[in-house]
């Protein structure tokens, strides 16, 4: 594909140097292309890749930007230049902050990050100790958690000093932050807060500033005050800031984003150069005209107007507004229109239906099901909309003797016969297998109601799958894959719960030891059942589908999820007064901190926020935009949305709509296969295991030794750092003190931790004794590498790079520690990939070694040119097989220890 030739402000933005700059990019204007060409231009000017940091709003956007940058760099500077990009950061603010903390504040190496579901599971564990129930007038656990979480988000987003928060919430907040420290955990918000704190330390700031030259922030209109403070600190050392966004598309105020950041950017930074990219290359002029007119109703916006690039439609209606009597009738008309479009040659995947909220899903899903219209998986339905997930949830309730309740309905007991009927209906259990399932369930229930042995929720789930003969399911069938995806999502639920319930903490009464979490007994299962009933049913989304599969199916999603996407055809239904704008907009919320401490109105939303959201909806379509409403909800009439009334378009009856010519969406550029070495190794070991775990999402069991290798690596880095800083190897007593402070295993109890700590002490002691010289040769630890070959990029981190290899001062050797000798078939390949990447960067890699810590054995890895060429072939061939979805299994003895063998049709 030819490189787009930029002109006007787009080209000026690429070339600008010397001051901070703001790019206002209209919808569909190609801002990713501008940013990519700017990065390539900076590199062409000699800026080091590690001097450039680019923030994106999502991981998906990061992957797209990385690949586009690589394309533009190769076209501009040649293929060899790609080997130098390893230091360039493109990713989310959160991932950058976590990397910063782990690199510059070593104690964070042993921390883990909680997602929203794990956060709720942790709070349910700690609720009584923290007093979270007190925050709900009715003393309800999960309502109290929700109230607490909403206010904690504000504290973090606004960088409010916890010490200034008054009242009972302030007390709980302080205890909560202490609790996170004890468990060595971070939330998404705390990653930002801690990174800001780290950058306010002069030593850390200087270390970051010494390399950072250019900071690029995409979707700048969506940053919150804490993120804005982070950005200020990052560029305070002289780096040039480039922000890219559109105030008309600021739609996350309820998460704390402040549209004022972009509107008043030039007032807060000196000498700002401003560029406006106003040409919309996506939509037909009629759609752009309608969106432009509506945008003028958004108050306090930056003055601008989108310009069209494509010609007008040659026939039919480009923008239509119509009404139906009921939501069901409206959904039926949309389904009929989709079928007409499909009959005319429009692919289902080229059609999207965008709604304000999930309340609009049921009528649409029912209509699409009735008419046989395929819908993309993911985000539309909850996990517990799947009958398999409901049955598994009921099974947990039966184990714990807890009544099952769906949503806000009444609870009812679950009987053994209920479960057997369900497994017969959904899993085809019949004949003698009914007895086997009954026996297993009874044994599981007996185990759940004793406290002598620890639980293993994911392992117990896999045993259930074994007795249900899930391994007999056909993985070549799409419906079966979706069912397997539901089971995989359920293992994620179990892992989220179990990982925080079993989370250990350092023992304050016994330095160097830790206290295990909760891992057994009736209440372990009762709390899981209550977690499923009161939280998981409404929080966990269904299976998203395999990411590498492009199904021909309609996208049914919310406007928020549609941000940054486009389709030839877009329907925006349910434009009623209480749906869009949301009836909750502007409602006063119950905050646990004084409104004087923050801008509560911003979080509670306004008509302007809803107008921006509707503007985003109108700018997603390329060729055809339908905006519709229904006139009745049940028997009561409902007023139209004011936005429906203000929308410009042909007003007609639904059967009068005339479709314009629809141009098929351009095929997405084939993206390179991007894998970590761990993922590549798993794929090479067994394609089916990679599919089940990597693509479908089946989770591993939580073993007590989880994190042992990571903890030992952390200790070895600490020993090396001590040696470098002090010019001497630490003594045995000093190593013991390091172990006391830093050796942490997240799921081990006191006895297991004590045993593994002693094992680690022996490993480290043996290493220091026999390889003391290494500690004075450490050139870099945790060194990232990226090997870019045709169609594939492999990334990873080498444990240690040693200098003075072979007596040559510039000579380097890669050293990789292994705490176990199991499954070492791909170790040579790993180091050959790193050595190859290092040489392509210009490093003088002269050796590579696998160091077995347990047997104190160091193995030389062949990194001569022929060996590296052979390793390249292995990688390229694996990528080629992945692109054609070749998940060939390798059944054999390894199946015996494979955790997903009970859900694998290919296991030996």
- pLDDT of 378 above 80: no
- pLDDT of 824 above 60: no
Cα–Cα distance, 809 to 399 (Å, whole number):
64
Say what the pLDDT of residue 887 is: 94
**pLDDT tens for each residue of 439-482:** 999 999 999 999 888 999 999 999 999 999 999 999 888 888 88
**pLDDT tens for each residue of 737-749:** 999 988 999 988 8
Q: Domains in the chain, please, with CATH? A: 8-106+193-277 (3.40.50.300), 112-183 (no CATH), 307-376+551-587+595-656 (3.40.50.300), 383-507+530-539 (no CATH), 673-903 (3.90.320.10)
Q: What is the mean pLDDT of residues 510-518?
A: 88
Q: In b/e form, how buried is each residue of 795-820, taking b as 16+ CB within 10 angstroms? A: bbebbbbbbbbeeeeebbbbbbbbbe
Among 213-227, 302-316, 533-547, the range with the most confident prediction by mean pLDDT is 213-227
Predicted TM-score (pTM) of the model is: 0.92
- pLDDT of 266 above 70: yes
Say what the pLDDT of residue 107 is: 86
Percent of the chain with pLDDT over 90: 74
Residue carrying structure tokens 């410009």: 648
- pLDDT of 408 above 90: no
- pLDDT of 686 above 80: yes
Look at 396-410, 542-556, 604-618 and tell me which has the smallest mean pLDDT.
Answer: 542-556
φ, ψ at 142 (rounded to 5°): -75, -25
Say what the pLDDT of residue 666 is: 76
Calculate the alpha carbon distances from 884 to 679, 794, 880, 887, 906 in Å.
17, 18, 7, 9, 19
Say what the pLDDT of residue 805 is: 93
Say what the pLDDT of residue 541 is: 85
Token code pair at residue 491: 């293992």
Classify 568 in phi/psi space as left (phi over 0), alpha (psi -120 to 50) or beta.
alpha
Q: pLDDT category, 359, cuts 50, 70, 90? A: confident
**pLDDT tens for each residue of 756-777:** 999 999 989 988 999 999 899 9
Q: pLDDT category, 343, cuts 50, 70, 90? A: very high
Say what the pLDDT of residue 549 is: 62
Say what the pLDDT of residue 298 is: 95
Q: pLDDT category, 367, cuts 50, 70, 90? A: very high
Cα–Cα distance, 215 to 849 (Å, whole number):
37
Say what the pLDDT of residue 1 is: 56
Say what the pLDDT of residue 548 is: 57
- pLDDT of 825 above 70: no
Say what the pLDDT of residue 542 is: 82
Residue 242: closest CA among 211, 275, 209: 275
Say what the pLDDT of residue 564 is: 86
**pLDDT tens for each residue of 615-632:** 999 999 999 999 999 998
3-state secondary structure labels for all residues of 798-849: EEEEECCHHHCCCCEEEEEEECCCCCCCCHHHHHHHHHHHHHHHCCCEEEEE
Q: What is the mean pLDDT of residues 281-303?
A: 95
Half-sphere exposure of 683 (CA within 13 A, CB side): 25
Calculate the alpha carbon distances from 821 to 744, 813, 851, 858 in Å.
22, 21, 10, 12
Helix (H), strand (E) at residue 209: helix 202-209
Q: What is the mean pLDDT of residues 79-87?
A: 88
- pLDDT of 670 above 80: no
Q: What is the mean pLDDT of residues 362-391?
A: 87
DSSP label at 713?
Answer: H
Task: Label the pairing between strands 21-25 and 240-245.
Answer: parallel
Cα–Cα distance, 790 to 786 (Å, whole number):
13
Cα–Cα distance, 811 to 880 (Å, whole number):
34
Q: What is the mean pLDDT of residues 199-221?
A: 96
Which residues, other chains included, contact 207 with Cβ-Cβ below 8 Å and sequence gap of 6+?
Answer: 104
| CB distance 123 to 133 below 8 Å | no
- Average pLDDT of every residue of the chain: 92
Rounded to the nearest 5 degrees, what angle is found at the Cα of 74, between the Cα atoms of 71 and 79?
130
The residues with which 375 forms a beta bridge, in sequence order, are 554
- pLDDT of 172 above 90: yes
Token code pair at residue 134: 């007190």
Q: Give me the helix-helix angle, 708-726 and 750-770, nearest 10°.
A: 40
**pLDDT tens for each residue of 243-261:** 999 999 999 998 889 999 9
Q: pLDDT category, 511, cuts 50, 70, 90? A: confident
Say what the pLDDT of residue 822 is: 60
| CB distance 397 to 527 below 8 Å | no
């Amino acid at each position: 594909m030819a490189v787009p030739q930029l002109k006007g402000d787009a080209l000026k933005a690429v070339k600008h140097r010397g001051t901070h700059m703001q790019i206002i990019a209209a919808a569909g204007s190609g801002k990713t292309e501008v940013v990519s060409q700017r990065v390539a231009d900076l590199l062409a000017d000699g800026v080091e890749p590690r001097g450039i940091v680019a923030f994106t709003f999502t991981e998906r956007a990061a992957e797209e930007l990385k690949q586009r940058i690589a394309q533009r760099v190769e076209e501009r500077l040649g293929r060899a230049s790609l080997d130098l990009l390893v230091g360039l950061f493109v990713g989310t603010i959160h991932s950058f902050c976590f990397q910063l903390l782990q690199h510059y504040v070593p104690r964070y190496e042993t921390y883990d990050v909680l997602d929203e579901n794990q956060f709720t599971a942790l709070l349910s564990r700690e609720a009584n100790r923290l007093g979270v129930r007190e925050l709900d007038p009715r003393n309800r656990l999960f309502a109290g958690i929700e109230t607490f979480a909403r206010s904690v988000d504000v504290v973090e987003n606004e960088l409010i000093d916890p010490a200034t928060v008054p009242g009972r919430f302030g007390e709980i907040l302080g205890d909560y932050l202490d609790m996170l420290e004890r468990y060595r955990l971070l939330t998404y918000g705390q990653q930002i807060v801690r990174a800001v704190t780290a950058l306010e330390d002069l030593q850390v700031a200087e270390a970051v500033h010494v390399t950072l030259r250019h900071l690029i922030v995409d979707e700048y209109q969506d940053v919150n005050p804490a993120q804005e403070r982070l950005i200020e600190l990052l560029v305070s050392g002289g780096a040039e800031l480039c922000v890219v966004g559109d105030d008309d598309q600021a739609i996350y105020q309820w998460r704390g984003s402040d549209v004022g950041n972009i509107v008043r950017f030039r007032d807060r930074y000196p000498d700002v150069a401003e560029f406006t990219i106003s040409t919309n290359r996506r939509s037909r002029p009629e759609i752009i005209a309608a969106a432009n007119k509506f945008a003028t109703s958004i108050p306090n916006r930056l003055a601008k107007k989108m310009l069209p690039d494509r010609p007008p439609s040659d026939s039919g209606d480009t923008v239509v507004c119509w009404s139906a009597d009921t939501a069901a009738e409206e959904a039926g008309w949309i389904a009929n229109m989709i079928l007409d479009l499909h009959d005319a040659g429009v692919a289902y995947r080229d059609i999207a239906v965008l709604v304000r909220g999930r309340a609009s899903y049921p009528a649409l899903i029912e209509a699409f099901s009735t008419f046989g219209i395929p819908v993309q998986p993911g985000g539309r339905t909850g996990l517990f909309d799947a009958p398999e997930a409901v049955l598994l949830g009921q099974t947990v309730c039966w184990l714990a003797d807890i009544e099952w309740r769906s949503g806000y309905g009444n609870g009812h007991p679950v009987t053994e016969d209920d479960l057997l009927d369900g497994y017969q209906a959904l899993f085809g259990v019949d004949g003698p297998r009914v007895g086997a399932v009954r026996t297993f369930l009874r044994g599981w229930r007996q185990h759940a109601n004793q406290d002598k042995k620890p639980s293993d929720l994911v392992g117990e789930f896999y045993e259930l799958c074994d007795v249900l003969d899930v391994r007999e399911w056909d993985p070549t069938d799409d419906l079966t894959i979706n069912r397997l995806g539901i089971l995989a999502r359920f293992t994620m639920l179990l892992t989220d719960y179990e990982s925080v319930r079993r989370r250990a903490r350092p023992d304050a009464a016994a330095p160097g030891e830790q206290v295990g979490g909760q891992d057994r007994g009736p209440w372990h299962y009762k709390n899981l059942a209550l977690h499923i009933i009161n939280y998981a049913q409404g929080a966990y989304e269904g299976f998203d589908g395999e990411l590498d599969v492009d199904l021909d199916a309609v996208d049914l999603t919310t406007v928020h999820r549609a941000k940054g996407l486009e389709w030839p055809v877009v329907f925006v239904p349910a434009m009623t007064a209480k749906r869009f704008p949301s009836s909750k907009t502007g409602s006063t919320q119950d905050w646990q901190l004084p409104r004087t401490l923050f801008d509560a109105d911003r979080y509670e939303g306004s008509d302007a926020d809803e107008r921006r959201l509707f503007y985003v909806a109108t700018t997603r379509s390329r060729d055809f935009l339908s905006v519709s409403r229904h006139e009745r909800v049940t028997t009561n009439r409902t007023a139209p949305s004011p936005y429906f009334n203000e929308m410009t378009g042909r007003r007609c009856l639904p059967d009068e709509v005339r479709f314009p010519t629809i141009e098929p969406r351009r095929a997405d550029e084939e993206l390179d296969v991007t894998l970590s070495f761990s993922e590549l190794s798993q794929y090479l070991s067994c394609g089916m295991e990679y599919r089940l775990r990597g693509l479908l999402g089946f989770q591993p069991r939580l073993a007590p030794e989880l994190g042992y290798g990571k903890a030992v690596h952390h200790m070895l880095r600490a020993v090396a750092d001590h040696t470098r800083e002090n010019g001497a190897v630490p003594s045995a007593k000093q190593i013991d003190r390091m172990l006391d402070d830093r050796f942490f295993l997240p799921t081990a109890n006191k006895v297991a931790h004590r045993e593994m700590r002693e094992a680690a002490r022996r490993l480290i002691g043996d290493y220091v004794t026999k390889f003391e010289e290494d500690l004075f040769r450490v050139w870099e630890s945790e060194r990232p590498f990226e090997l870019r070959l045709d169609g594939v990029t492999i990334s990873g981190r080498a444990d240690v790079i040693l200098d003075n290899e072979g007596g040559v001062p510039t000579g380097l050797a890669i050293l990789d520690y292994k705490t176990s000798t199991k499954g070492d078939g791909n170790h040579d390949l790993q180091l050959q990939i790193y050595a190859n990447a290092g040489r392509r960067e210009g490093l003088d890699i002269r050796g590579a070694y696998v160091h077995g810590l347990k047997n104190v054995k160091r193995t030389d890895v062949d990194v001569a040119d022929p060996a590296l060429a052979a390793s390249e072939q292995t990688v390229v061939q694996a990528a080629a097989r992945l692109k054609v979805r070749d998940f060939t299994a390798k059944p054999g003895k390894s199946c015996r220890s494979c955790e997903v063998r009970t859900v694998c049709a290919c296991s030996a």
